[in-house]
Amino acid sequence: MIRIALAGNPNAGKTTIFNGLTGLRQKIANYPGITVEKKMGRCQMGDTEVEVLDLPGTYSLVPASPDEAVTSAVLKGERSDTPAPDVVVAVVDASTLARGLFLVSQVMELGRPVVVALNMTDIAERRGRSVDAEALARHLGVPVVPLVGNRKEGIGLLLETVTKAVVPPAPTWKRTEDADPDLAEIAGRYAWVDGVAAACVRPGPPHITSSERIDHILLHPAFGFATFALIMAGLFVTLFTLATPLMDLCEGGITALGGWLTSGMADGDLKSLISDGIFAGVGGVVVFVPQIALLFLFLALLEDSGYLARAAFLMDRVLHRVGLHGKSFIPLLSSFACAIPGILSARTIEAPRERFATILVAPLMSCSARLPVYALAIAAFFGSWAPWAQGLLMLGLYVLGIVVAFLVAWVAMKIRGRQGTSPLLLELPAYKVPQPSLVVSQVWHGTSAFLTRAGSIILALSIAIWAITTYPKPHADDLANAESRFEAAWKAPTGVSPEEVATQREDAQGRFIAQAALEHSIAGRLGHALEPVIAPLGFDWKIGVGLVGAFAAREVFVSTLGIVYAVGDPGDDTADLQAAIRADTHADGTPIWTMATAASLLVWFVLAMQCISTTAVVRRETGSWAWALGQLVGMNVIAWLASFITYQVLR
């Protein structure tokens, strides 16, 4: 077996070559103790097995970020968890040849066999600079394999060359006379690089590239933001309109499957655990998959086309002002679907401070799990408003989250000071048509990361929430109470068949018993116990029970409230629940739910950290309980204060 490692600049096309070599025989894990991804794969070359390691992109073997430090350490054989490679494949983008060769000059000094994979020769040619691979190989003293990144051709040749690679002669660069050691070294290397490049690049006529023409519009001082806003709005609308039917389909499928599996079982705790605990939990995870897969699809398309770097460029001014980074844009955008993929994608921010700040505020973006709660409260209490005013209110909730996120990030920056913020040094790669294979693998890896890192937590929480809403079981006299309340409330519908009356009667009776059981359970008692804390926000114990349920996932609030109000799980049609909460009164006859309560509840859902799965992911990604718990407590304190003010002002 031989081990090869791919090293190269960011955007040099390493991942394409990695995918070309390994197909889907890949494994993505973390380097122990740090959140840098370790991408490994295997392939076969005749009888020899080849293990391929895709190293994080780097500009130099003198690292400037944790990612680059991994590349440097692995290549030098300094990481105990990763054996040093037998052969280094230096991936060089022909269109940015000099910068790539700078890294090659360092790789050639490692004392390991080196092969240069010359990528994107087509883009270089279009830019009027075709690279002569044979001349390059002669001048470097290293085999050079030209590849057009998105085609299979060349991959076989690359493998063949790798098996025959030998340790190259050291490059013949000389330090310059400069007194500064860094300058003397780097200027010396670039002088050598320029000599090599001059000997093997056939310059064509200089011409305006299509990338420049596209940037002329997309980064235009006036139209730049307009097109940016248009692209993002389009992405958002598509994300929600395309995902919703798919999500309903997933949820329906899982529920039906659970129903079918338990249909032969006797009613009881086991059936309830399977259908209301496990299947509801699996459904709660699976329901997010279409949207998250779509999100990763859009991100992959934007990234691979080259626009994502431009988006970071356009947003840097605003984000940098509040202590974030242009690259924070991607995690924040993702968090509108779900904070978990958002926090996972914060890995692309090399700067540790800005990365932590991004993770800190990402859950303040209104995720799709909050949407059902927003929709319920707006429909029930602002339903008399004109549709455009309701839409504006909804938009206002999203804006509130963003504003508070920026405020929190800004305060965090003020506390820690500007010292140690990271520069923006961002390459804007040439625009290109996204490669399907690259996009597919990104969607696959992103979605499976969500399922493995969040899925198990959401499932465990769903089962825990099922347990506390089920146990302890109500006593006989609780049930008798529920029965008598039901008899008092029951009005037989008129004008329907006797069978229909009987069915409706049984349904209604079941809802009263479910309500009594929930009130008697741990969750019901927690709701009561929470009342002193949440009463100043205008919430009673019933909302408290809903909030307890929301810890599994925010949208569970709606179904829990449905049970508390004895209208059953409302699903998509919340009309009955809306009527029930509007009609609910305190003992003295004053309504519990007013517009102030609804507004306070909305503010709470925008700002509160209720999602334990997110807290668990933050703990993993920051490696620190202090960060995760600090965020949990801090967001809930802010949410409590904001809801308190909202309720007290509006009541």
Residues within the interface to other proteins (CB under 8 A): 59-60, 62, 64, 95-99, 102, 127, 129, 182-183, 186-187, 190, 211-212, 215, 219-222, 224-225, 309, 313-314, 316-317, 320, 326, 423-429
**Nearest-angstrom CA–CA distance, 530 and 202:** 75
Q: Looking at beta carbons only, is 190 or 486 nearer to other proteins?
A: 190
Contact 632, 609 (CB under 8 A): yes
Contact 26, 121 (CB under 8 A): no
Q: Looking at beta carbons only, is 64 or 232 nearer to other proteins?
A: 64
SS3 567: coil
Min dist. Cβ of residue 638 to other proteins (A): 29
Q: In this structure, what are the phi and psi dihedrals at residue 37, rounded to the nearest 5 degrees?
A: -75, 135
State the CB neighbour count (10 A cutoff) for residue 91.
Answer: 30
Q: Looking at beta carbons only, is 95 or 559 nearer to other proteins?
A: 95
Q: Which residue has the tokens 């209104």?
A: 366
Q: Looking at beta carbons only, is 71 or 368 nearer to other proteins?
A: 71
Q: Looking at beta carbons only, is 320 or 416 nearer to other proteins?
A: 320
Min dist. Cβ of residue 194 to other proteins (A): 9
Quote the crossing angle between the two packed helices 541-549 and 522-534, to the nearest 10°. 120
**Nearest-angstrom CA–CA distance, 329 and 335:** 10
Q: Looking at beta carbons only, is 209 or 594 nearer to other proteins?
A: 209
Q: Quick one: 281 exposed, middle or buried, by C-beta within 10 A (0-12, 13-18, 19+)?
A: buried
Min dist. Cβ of residue 37 to other proteins (A): 22
Q: Looking at beta carbons only, is 10 or 154 nearer to other proteins?
A: 10
Min dist. Cβ of residue 430 to other proteins (A): 8
Min dist. Cβ of residue 94 to other proteins (A): 10
SS3 581: helix
Min dist. Cβ of residue 413 to other proteins (A): 15
SS3 109: coil
Min dist. Cβ of residue 424 to other proteins (A): 5
Contact 425, 313 (CB under 8 A): no
Q: Which of 169, 162, 27 is nearest to 88 (CA)?
A: 162
Min dist. Cβ of residue 318 to other proteins (A): 8
Q: Looking at beta carbons only, is 176 or 390 nearer to other proteins?
A: 176
Q: Which of 649, 604, 608 is nearest to 632 (CA)?
A: 608
Min dist. Cβ of residue 415 to other proteins (A): 21
Cite the beta strand spans of 512-563 per DSSP E: none
Q: Are β-strands 48-54 and 37-45 bridged in parallel, bridged antiparallel, or unpaired?
A: antiparallel
DSSP 185-203: HHHHHHHHHHHHHHHHEEE
Min dist. Cβ of residue 169 to other proteins (A): 23
* Pair of tokens at residue 537: 């926000």
**Cα separations (Å) of 186 from 71, 192, 386?**
19, 10, 65
Min dist. Cβ of residue 346 to other proteins (A): 20
Cβ-Cβ contacts under 8 Å for 299 (sequence gap 6 or more):
308, 330, 334, 345, 442, 446
**Nearest-angstrom CA–CA distance, 134 and 138:** 6
Min dist. Cβ of residue 429 to other proteins (A): 8
Q: Looking at beta carbons only, is 180 or 487 nearer to other proteins?
A: 180
Contact 338, 367 (CB under 8 A): yes
Q: Looking at beta carbons only, is 98 or 650 nearer to other proteins?
A: 98
Min dist. Cβ of residue 142 to other proteins (A): 20
Q: Looking at beta carbons only, is 187 or 464 nearer to other proteins?
A: 187
Q: Looking at beta carbons only, is 64 or 451 nearer to other proteins?
A: 64
Q: Looking at beta carbons only, is 96 or 447 nearer to other proteins?
A: 96
**Nearest-angstrom CA–CA distance, 150 and 147:** 8
Cβ-Cβ contacts under 8 Å for 260 (sequence gap 6 or more):
none
Quote the crossing angle between the two packed helices 223-262 and 210-218, to the nearest 10°. 90
Cβ-Cβ contacts under 8 Å for 278 (sequence gap 6 or more):
258, 459, 462, 463
Min dist. Cβ of residue 225 to other proteins (A): 5
Q: Looking at beta carbons only, is 209 or 272 nearer to other proteins?
A: 209
**Nearest-angstrom CA–CA distance, 577 and 574:** 5
Q: Which of 558, 557, 533 is nearest to 547 (CA)?
A: 557
Q: In this structure, what are the phi and psi dihedrals at residue 77, rounded to the nearest 5 degrees?
A: 70, 30
